[in-house]
Chain A
Amino acid sequence: MSDKEQTITAIDGKPRTILLVGNPNVGKSVLFNALTGAYTTVSNYPGTSVEVSRGDCEIHGVRYQVLDTPGMYSLLPITEEERVGREILLRERPDVVLHVIDARNIERMLPMTLQLIEAGLPTILVVNILDEAERRGMFFDIPLLEEKLGIPVVGAAVRRRRGLKEIRAAIVGFDTTLRASFGYASDLERDVQRLTALMTADYTIDARSLALLLMQKDEELLALVKDKEEDNFPAIEAALREITFERRVDLNLRISLERKRVCKGLLEGIVRQEERKGRPLAEHLSDLTMNPWTGIPLLLLILYFGLYQFVGGFGAGTVVDFLEGGLFEEILNPWVIDFCQRVIPWYWLKELLVGEYGIFTLGIRYAIAIVLPIVGTFFVAFSLIEDSGYFPRLAMLVDRVFKLIGLNGRAVIPIVLGFGCDTMATIVTRTLETARERVIATLLLALAIPCSAQLGVILGLLSAVPGALLVWTGCLIGIFLFIGLLSAQLMPGERPMFYMEIPPLRMPQPRNVLVKTLTRMQWYFLEIFPLFIIASVLLWAGKLTGALNWLVNALEPVMRLLGLPSETAAAFIFGFFRRDFGAAGLYDLQTSGLLSPVQLTVAAVTLTLFVPCVAQFLVMQRERGWKVSTGILVSVTTLAFAVGWALNRLLLATGMLQ
């Protein structure tokens, strides 16, 4: 044992502390087990429900207590696990922090190393999973990275026990005087200096790091600063407010981007990609999906095969034909109707069960024979695309276009989810940064995003009429962009920047696709089945009381203006209960031969743009308030009929689709 090590043990008397930090799934616990062996304890961190593992080890005669912290992506916590992880970092006053990262994702994980260094924590970087990275042809200049970062860096594959000796040596030989600093853009540096100059209390992390976290709106640290600074706090708070006002950008995003830029510079010359092995196909494909010149054709291919062929052709065509035309129309319906006619003497009950709007002949048939196969095939396609990691790339691809309509790539999440269910997607709009974005996204969801079943039925119906699908798609995209542009003009505001870490593209896992599809179908079926039954009962009651007839008659002049037969009014009334119910109504009209190609196209466009269903309206009201939701309802309804009228005139005047 060296003199230095003996001194360390003798002075402290108690074990020194090593903290393991890093993203989930980077091998922290494998390293924890390798360092501590079998004698470890797992307990909740005091005052929390988050479990933390503790163990002891002795390295070169020096005793250490090792803590395995919960996975965290950044020092700015979002989840309870991250909050506890940061609390451990701040409270335990560790002697060494081992930041474990995945070599394959070094660019995504290095920003947290920078945060740890900025915080003044005694950090050692462990670049783990090197074996896998090397197998992919990635090679690292570890000494150069160490030189650039100014902290010890160890390359490792701890699962194979590679690098453990070096990690132990780095822990024992750690020089606490090491202190690196990374410069950001001058305006940010000025803000940081302004804040650090005002802070006078003693903190467990560096003032520079504290200032950056305050600028990133870290409420917890703001409370800590308030507590510690006492009379000095108002000056800090005022400075912070001024900085936020002057910048007028999302400082959190700005700092993250700046840190990314620094990391990119640090990694120059560090990672060498073996040429002979070439870049993996997934990386090439990933680049192609985000480049507008190749990304848009790829998107069209996905839409063509995933939606048009699979959902529209196979789901709404083959499967619905089999279930609706074969099973229900030829076998089940005649048998059930005949049975009810024979055993039920009351007209009203026969009507309720097997009448025009009967529970079996309408509700159950729509739910099982029309909607379920369509949403089933849609969910298969959706889960396949989702599991491949394509959606984040779509967000990057459409970011530029979305910025024109007052949104950014982040809005891809609610818009994409809207194709599943607009009601749920309306709730997800709360993740958008500004009120302006939330209103625009809610409006576009209510107007131009058809839900899965509606989309499937319409694709199935229109694909049988040459040109109709093209007209419908053109109308929807045109309205989406036009209303988006108009909204962005009428509601001026800032355009928040969009940035996200792009996860790797991968081959969809059959198990994931199957489980996600079945989960979504189960959820959808549980939700729609009772509603379809309730809607049937309401329509039955409406028919018996004459209220439905009155409503159909009231809508007749509107239908006439659109050039549609009066029977189409029923599909619009269905559509207000649920969008998919309305689409199924349209399916019935078309299969009965009541609609010409022009009428079918006009009805499909109007019904897609038509008012949000009851559930979506209620959620809109809750999320955006009465004023905005009523405004959206009125404008969407007016616009739907206005577009339907104009489209009918245009198609008749030009002779298209005739």
Chain B
Amino acid sequence: MLLDSYDTEDLFDEMFDGGREVRPHYQLLRERLDTMSREELDQKIKNLETLFIRQGITFTVYGDQRGTERVFPFDPIPRIIPADEWQIIEDGLVQRITALNLFLYDVYHERKILRDKVIPEEVVLSAAHYRPEFVDVDVPRDIYIHICGTDLIRDRDGSYLVLEDNGRCPSGVSYVLENRMAMKRVFPNLFGSAGVRSVDSYAADLLGTLQYIAPHAKPDPVCVLLTPGHYNSAYFEHSFLARQMGIEIVEGRDLIVVDGYVYMRTTRGLLQVDVIYRRIDDDFLDPKVFRKDSMLGVPGLVEAVQRGNVALANAIGTGVADDKVTYAYVEKMIKYYLDQDPILKQVPTFLAWDEKDRGYILDHLPELVVKAANESGGYGMLIGPKASKEEIEKFRQLIIANPRNYIAQPVVYFSRHPTLTDGTVEGRHVDLRPFVLSGERTHILPGGLTRVALKKGSIVVNSSQGGGSKDTWVLHPPRK
């Protein structure tokens, strides 16, 4: 049977406990897997991949002239999270996102947290994604991050830690929804009996969030999704979400700003747009204000936002909150704005701009993970224990040259999860990206993207670098 020879190698495993017994919430899955042969499973995967290719559930690989599309590698053994664990995640994320939104409001208004010296002013004002253009600009409902994807990992004792917040344009939610559809085909009978919570309400909740932030609480606002275009790697997701929400998917060239209002070009003429769910980074939004060479944006859009005539989700300037240096201060923010202790812990972080921390970092490079403050997708990273001497030296120079741009963390631990490999089922490292929507309420999609590093021993889970994904099952609380 598939799992008979599975070895946890004494690492924290999602499915098996320290005594190598299957954890109770995985019992049903284990039983189901035991009835399946490797051939049966392989056949199901093959069918699924065909289905994915036929439906175009793909991401585009950059740097390939022909715009090759690949299927996001999908592992059929689902990750299961019991209700009590999920409750902690949900509570912790609501708390965290609330604090981040208050922080952004504060940073772009009175800056109390800086004046009170809870966070050093220079950290915020020097952040690459800080947007002085938005100081004292009110955004609808005072919400900045409407859609957040927060990456979680599990510590050696199994407790969840926040690895990073993605508060700019987090992607991946369509895979959550598609993976679920795929899993229903692999294990059609398991869903009912396992008590898996549905992820179907995401699009409706997202639309509700967008409508909620319409300028001047306008009823029946026109919402659109702004995409960089169909060559973008996440285009599938953009069109998937637009379709699920029943809103237009537009490119920059479909929009035009006239007298401070945004319109889209339709066959009937110009139609005013109230809310833009933008999947374009700040830098490319408006060539009049940010990158002049941007061909994806809409000239005049920033002014329309500043004048309060159109709402953006997420707001401009949220990057200051998911900066990796800011990350080190989120626990202090929670204390400051909410007067609470953080529910979810995070990874201890050394800041290269702090002289004392920098000394420690430079002395311990081979043991640490160094990250550039403003990069995402696993780029600009040094994994000390796996790096060559040259790489370490290169990062030493980079850090000395630009300390503000680097942070270091001890090597974090990623839990492992049984994963189908070529020959058998082996443990692979996983993380978890739940999606948080902040509108009238804060919704957490009961599920999330479990990313898995398909390479043995690797902890790089990014799809651009050899990561795959699993369906994530959040269970209903057990019935009394």
Whether A and B are associated in the same complex: the answer reads no
Residues of B within 8 A of A (CB): none
